[in-house]
Amino acid sequence: MEWIDSLRKLLKEDQVTVNPTELERHSRDESYHTPHLPDVVVFPENREEVSRILRFANDREIPVTPFGLGSSLEGHVIPYKGGISVDFQRMNKILEVRPQDMLVRVQPGVTRSQLNRELKKYGLFFSVDPGADATLGGMAATNASGTTAVRYGVMRDQVRDLEVVLSDGRIIRTGGRAAKSSSGYHLTGLFVGSEGTLGLFTELTLRVFGIPEAIMAARAVFPTVKQAVNAAVSIISSGIPVARLELVDALSMKYLNEHSETRYPAAPTLFLEFHGNEAGLKRDVVFAEELAQGEECQGFQFETDTKARAKLWEARHHLAYAFIHRSPGKRLMVTDVCVPMSELAGAVEHARHALNQEGMEGGILGHIGDGNYHVLMMIDPTDPRDVDKAEKINASIVEYALGRGGTCTGEHGVGVGKIRYLRREHKEAVDVMMSIKQALDPKGILNPGKKLPPR
Amino acid sequence: MEWIDSLRKLLKEDQVTVNPTELERHSRDESYHTPHLPDVVVFPENREEVSRILRFANDREIPVTPFGLGSSLEGHVIPYKGGISVDFQRMNKILEVRPQDMLVRVQPGVTRSQLNRELKKYGLFFSVDPGADATLGGMAATNASGTTAVRYGVMRDQVRDLEVVLSDGRIIRTGGRAAKSSSGYHLTGLFVGSEGTLGLFTELTLRVFGIPEAIMAARAVFPTVKQAVNAAVSIISSGIPVARLELVDALSMKYLNEHSETRYPAAPTLFLEFHGNEAGLKRDVVFAEELAQGEECQGFQFETDTKARAKLWEARHHLAYAFIHRSPGKRLMVTDVCVPMSELAGAVEHARHALNQEGMEGGILGHIGDGNYHVLMMIDPTDPRDVDKAEKINASIVEYALGRGGTCTGEHGVGVGKIRYLRREHKEAVDVMMSIKQALDPKGILNPGKKLPPR
């Protein structure tokens, strides 16, 4: 392709590749979605290069798909229309830590664990923790969350400012360093979660928190999933400021034990964590335990030392990999609805019913303090019956959630996998979203085929 | 005007008025900005009527300005191009309280105190509390905040879903009832703070909180404003989850005492409040007091009973009125910058210097836990020298903030008063905002002349 030669002239030699291994690596994510090769992969090192690439692509109407670490779960980074895959791995610097402002400025290729290693020196931490050690640029693009959102908020709550390169190469900043603002339109919130369809991020200013004075983690085992969910709903409704509140069902506990070499009971379990000062936290824990006992929990098993606590949460974070690694050749399909708390018990029960009805094995787990839960299924993407079953289950779960004020995706994003539900969830508001897309990317070069239905 | 007769046919007789008193009431807000009469005032009672009004106005390119209670501070509700003032006072119903989901659904004309009276029955409260008893629609339109934002967040953090009537009469919903979502673009965040320039709100779903188990309020008096600010910065940086942290300078304390018949010392003061469980809160208070004593505070004066606490916060909320009522014939000019915490002490010192330099009397106060503070000045809007002085002071304070990563408006919004600073604050991002405005309101009928610079 002639244009790839022209593209090479914009960057250094080692920044542009058509190496088949690299093309293949940029053709897929961690999901079951069908891979598709880009025509070329580029590795920009600064905002000016990203701007140059976009100006080039926009002039020639070449599709551009941003790529972090490829840990997306709905095909976000798959370049279905070919074109340029923009890999941010070389833009991975932590630019500035501002402890007094509780802010950090980073490039988009920095991963969350890389950031937390640095922040620890300042007694600070970054709260958002999806299962994967994703890049912060990717996490902002999907509005990712994880286990701590119930207390600290989702990715959108942490992004104070973005540097964004627009489709035509213009560079803007969306926010500032002040803790709040009523100036201008809230572009930061608009670009967070836009999945690379409105612009590419070249810098992020993120809110961070002080490491709490005291932390207590606990497991609580219940006779049934329903009782675990009911206990979670009670804890949230009581106003206890729990920092983490995760459900893991019996099957998932079994896989977790196998993968992480733990010996937790293979029964429906809540993983909890409390942050605060020593005195306040003790009170919170006692109150939460009482509520759990009301649902026949036999009491909290505390992970008192730092190591056991780290082990607990590492096991929880690796749960998707526990499913993936025991099913070689299969691919992960994971649902991601989020429902109002009053609908959560019914929704989780319905999900189990949907699995049983299709005779599909699947684990149920999630961030149920937010009403967000996942069904994990391992499927053979080349077997149409397998795919069909999983899609039926997903559709049934999404329909249930949308009928009750919920959303088709709590934290993974739309990618290609959820587009079919957009109109059902947002109705006429989809047209407004499409007007905004049209205004900011008139030629439609930015991650085409993702996030919104076709025009 | 012929079109007013046509407009009358869309609504009941008592919903359309050109009564001079009503026109006058809808020509001004609580600020010093020059009033301007609308041609007509309408009082819609439901979304369909709002939709009809907008379709009508859009067809004829008639300006439309929404009106809540007129408590805006930058001329937001003043219909500078005439046309239709849409008053939401008849859409003032609390439609639904969902205690388990911690949500409430309201019409835009409901005021914050009206909502809190209802929520109290459920043990819940709505957190955002600007000085005025504003409508929730108006508060969402300006992204208002107040004394509790430091703990519970600003208006944008509380709005889960909006029903919006677009410029051409289309009706959309921007969100849902789930606690989080990665579906679609974040329209809720875009419409919150859009000051009536992108659409009119006809329904809001808002997050509410449980009334805390324990509350403690305190005053802390300091020798100088600088020491008070330093103490506030220390408290925030320490991570103490303070629920309110307000600065009131000596002059403002004097006026506050006069207006509210209190006898607090007329010296630089922090007003603080702590929420939590009894045990945790006691620890927080002790820690905060230690930090304050490091800045020569003589210790906390606690307002232990509910009545004294209510008195304290009522006095604080009425502070703007304390300035207004002692200067009959004059109008309020209030600055509203928000700066990063690391810049706060310097910014407040600079503000006092700016006042002294112009020989202008002014109080300094604000929500300094967020880095947001106000300078209150009473000016004679018919005296050009007075206006000029106040505008010089405002400009100097804004320039200082913008040079240090701050914003020209922390919570009042842009209206007409801050438009001149938009380009300086957001640079090329203003063009993106204008593209969005163009896409959603191509004829420019919605609150023209506000929020963004002219095309």
Please check whether residue A167 touches B, CB under 8 A.
no
Residue B320: count other Cβ atoms within 10 Å of its Cβ: 23
| Nearest CA among B327, B422, B326, B320 for reference residue B374 | B320
CB A373 within 8 A of CB A340: no
pLDDT value at residue A380: 94
Which residue is associated with the tokens 């690796």? A318
> Measuring CA to CA, how many Å separate A126 from each of A370, B49, B139?
19, 47, 30
Cα angle A366, A371, A377; round to 5: 35
Strands (E), A88-143: 94-98, 103-106, 124-125
Same domain, residue pair A366 and A307? no
State the best of A180, A398, A402 to mutate against chain B, taking most chain B CBs within 10 Å. Answer: A180
Q: Is the Cβ pair B407, A193 closer than 8 Å?
A: no
Min Cα separation A10/chain B (Å):
24
Task: Say whether B340 and A173 touch across the interface (CB within 8 A).
Answer: no
Residues B256, B319 contacting (CB under 8 angstroms): yes
Strands B16-17 and B40-42: antiparallel
The enclosing domain of B125 has a CATH number of 3.30.465.10
Short-list A119, A155, A124, CA closest to A138: A155
DSSP classification of residue A407: B
Give the per-residue pLDDT at B299: 86
Yes or no, beta carbons of B178 and A143 under 8 Å apart = no
For residue B66, the cross-strand partners are: B86
- Cβ–Cβ under 8 Å, residues A262 and A317: no
Give the three-state DSSP class for A246: strand
A159 interfaces chain B, CB cutoff of 8 Å: no
Together in a domain, A304 and A379: no
Q: Is the ipTM of this complex over 0.90?
A: yes
The pairing of strands A363-367 and A244-248 is antiparallel
B243 and B257 both lie in a single domain: yes
- Look at residue A387 and give its three-state secondary structure: helix
Contact A279 B276 (CB under 8 A): no
Residues of chain B with Cβ-Cβ distance to A282 below 8 Å are 279
- Half-sphere exposure of residue A344: CA atoms within 13 angstroms, side-chain side: 34
CB of A340 within 8 Å of a chain B CB? The answer is yes
In Å, how far is A340's CA from the nearest CA of chain B?
Answer: 5
Instruction: Give the number of other CB atoms < 10 A from CB of residue A255.
Output: 22
Of A455, A454, A347, the residue nearest A410 (C-alpha): A347
Confidence check: pLDDT of B377 > 90: yes
Q: For residues A258 and B116, what is the distance between their CA atoms, to the nearest angstrom?
A: 51
φ, ψ dihedrals at A255, nearest 5° = -65, -40
Q: For residues A297 and A231, is the Cβ–Cβ distance under 8 A?
A: yes
In a domain, B388, yes or no: yes
Question: Percentage of residues in chain B with pLDDT exceeding 70?
Answer: 100
User: What are residue B300's phi and psi, to 5 degrees?
Assistant: -85, 135
Is A262 buried (19+), middle (13-18) or exposed (0-12) by CB count in 10 A? middle
Does pLDDT of B304 surpass 90?
no
Residue type, A25: R
> Tokens representing A259?
């993968």
Evaluated on CA atoms A357, A360, A365, A370, the torsion sign reads: negative
Check the CA dihedral B229-B230-B236-B241 and report its sign. negative
Say yes or no: A189 and A269 in one domain.
Answer: no
Is residue B231 one of the residues assigned to a domain?
A: yes
A314: burial class by Cβ within 10 Å (0-12, 13-18, 19+)? exposed
**E strands within B131-194?**
159-165, 171-173
Whether residues A100 and A206 share a domain: the answer is yes
Angstrom distances, CA of residue A23 to CA of A14, A38, B83, B110, B428: 14, 6, 58, 56, 35
Q: Among B176, B210, B244, which residue terminates a domain?
A: B210
Angle subtended at Cα A204 by Cα A200 and Cα A209, rounded to the nearest 5 degrees: 150
| pLDDT confidence of residue A435 | 98
Residues B190 and B255 in one domain: no
- List pLDDT tens digits, range A183-213: 999 999 999 999 999 999 999 999 999 999 9
User: What CATH number did the domain enclosing B310 receive?
Assistant: 3.30.70.2190
Q: What is the CATH number of the domain that holds B358?
A: 3.30.70.2740
pLDDT value at position B62?
98
Residue type for position B40: V
User: Which strands, in side-by-side order, build the sheet including B200-207?
Assistant: B94-98, B103-106, B200-207, B159-165, B171-173
Q: Could you tell me if B222 and B297 are in contact, meaning their C-beta atoms sit under 8 angstroms apart?
A: yes
pLDDT digits (tens, 9 = 90+) for B279-290: 999 999 999 999
Verify that B100 and B203 share a domain, yes or no. yes
B311 in Cβ contact with B50 (< 8 Å) = no
Residues A133/A122, Cβ–Cβ less than 8 Å: no
Comparing CA positions, the residue from B196, B79, B221 lying closest to residue B143 is B196
Pair (B241, B198) in one structural domain? no
Smallest CA-to-CA distance from A131 within A262, A213, A31 is with: A31
Locate the DSSP E strands across B132-282. Answer: 159-165, 171-173, 200-207, 209-210, 214-221, 244-248, 269-276
Q: How far apart are CA B139 and CA B137, in angstroms?
A: 5
Show residues of chain A in contact with B452, CB under 8 Å. Answer: 184
The Cα–Cα gap between B257 and B316 comes to: 10
Residue A449 lies in a domain: no
Which tokens sit at A169? Answer: 């190469």
Among candidates A280, A339, A430 on the partner chain, residue whose Cβ is nearest the Cβ of B276:
A280
DSSP characters over B272-339? EEEEE-HHHHHHHHHHHHHHHHTTT---EEEE-SHHHHHHHHHHHHTHHHHHHHTSTT-EEEE---B-
Residues of B in contact with A239 (CB under 8 A): 209-210, 212-213
Using the Cβ of A176 and the Cβ atoms of chain B, whether some distance falls under 8 Å is answered with yes
Q: Indicate the residue among A393, A412, A431 that finishes a domain.
A: A412
Mean predicted confidence (pLDDT) in B46-69: 98
When scoring B182, B409, B423 by the number of chain A Cβ atoms within 10 A, the one with the most, hence best to mutate, is B182
For A104, A138, A289, B112, B250, the CA distances from A193, given in Å and listed in that order, are 20, 9, 36, 31, 45
Write phi, then psi, for A336 (nearest 5 degrees): -150, 30
What's the confidence (pLDDT) of residue B305? 87
Average pLDDT over residues B249-264: 95
**C-beta neighbour count of A397 within 10 angstroms:** 25
What whole-number distance in Å separates Cα of residue A350 and Cα of residue A341? 15
Please list the pLDDT of chain A residue by residue as tens digits (455 residues).
899 999 999 999 999 999 999 999 999 999 999 999 999 999 999 999 999 999 999 999 999 999 999 999 999 999 999 999 999 999 999 999 999 999 999 999 999 999 999 999 999 999 999 999 999 999 999 999 999 999 999 999 999 999 999 999 999 999 999 999 999 999 999 999 999 999 999 999 999 999 999 999 999 999 999 999 999 999 998 889 999 999 999 999 999 999 999 999 999 999 999 999 999 999 999 999 999 999 999 889 998 788 999 999 999 999 999 999 999 999 999 999 999 999 999 999 999 999 999 999 999 999 999 999 999 999 999 999 999 999 999 999 999 999 999 999 999 999 999 999 999 999 999 999 999 999 999 999 999 999 999 98
Nearest to B283 among A212, A279, A435 (CB): A279
Structure tokens at B165: 């009537």
With respect to residue A432, please indicate whether it lies within any of the assigned structural domains.
no
Angle at A207 between CA A203 and CA A208, to 5 degrees: 120
* Domain co-membership, A234 together with A332: no
CATH number at residue B40: 3.30.43.10
Structure tokens at A260: 């992480």
pLDDT of A304: 79
Residue B101 sits at the chain A interface (C-beta within 8 Å): yes
The neighbour count for residue A283, using CB atoms within 10 Å, is: 19
Three-state secondary-structure class, residue A157: helix
Overall domain count for chain A: 3
- At residue B115, what are phi and psi to the nearest 5 degrees? -65, -45
Residues A196 and A245 in one domain: no
Distance CA B168, CA B55 (A): 5
Say what the pLDDT of residue A298 is.
87
d(CA A300, CA A291): 11
Residue B446 within a domain: no
- pLDDT of B387 reads 93
User: What is the reported pLDDT for B455?
Assistant: 81
Query: Looking at the domain assignment, is residue A262 inside a domain?
Result: yes
Q: Are residues A115 and A186 in the same domain?
A: yes
Judge if B198 and B219 occupy the same domain: no
| Phi–psi pair at B172, nearest 5 degrees | -125, 165
Mean pLDDT is lowest, of B185-194, B325-334, B399-408, for B325-334
Give the HSE-up count for residue A199: Cα atoms under 13 Å, Cβ half-sphere: 30
Residue B429, domain member (yes or no): no
Contact with chain A for residue B193, Cβ under 8 A: yes
Interface contact B179-A341, CB threshold 8 A = yes
- Let me know: does B38 contact B27? Beta carbons within 8 Å: yes
Q: Which of B282, B370, B427 sits opposite A179 (nearest CB)?
A: B370
Phi, psi angle pair for A261, to nearest 5° = 55, 45
Domain end (from A193, A210, A227)? A210
- A154 domain residue, yes or no: yes
Q: Which domain holds residue B384?
A: 329-413
In whole angstroms, give the CA distance from residue A355 to residue A359.
6
Mean model confidence pLDDT for chain B: 96
A250-260 vs A306-317: helix crossing angle, rounded to 10: 120
Say how many CA atoms lie within 13 Å of A53 toward its Cβ: 33
- Buried b / exposed e over B101-120, threshold 16 CB at 10 Å, is bbbbbbbbbbbbebbbeebe
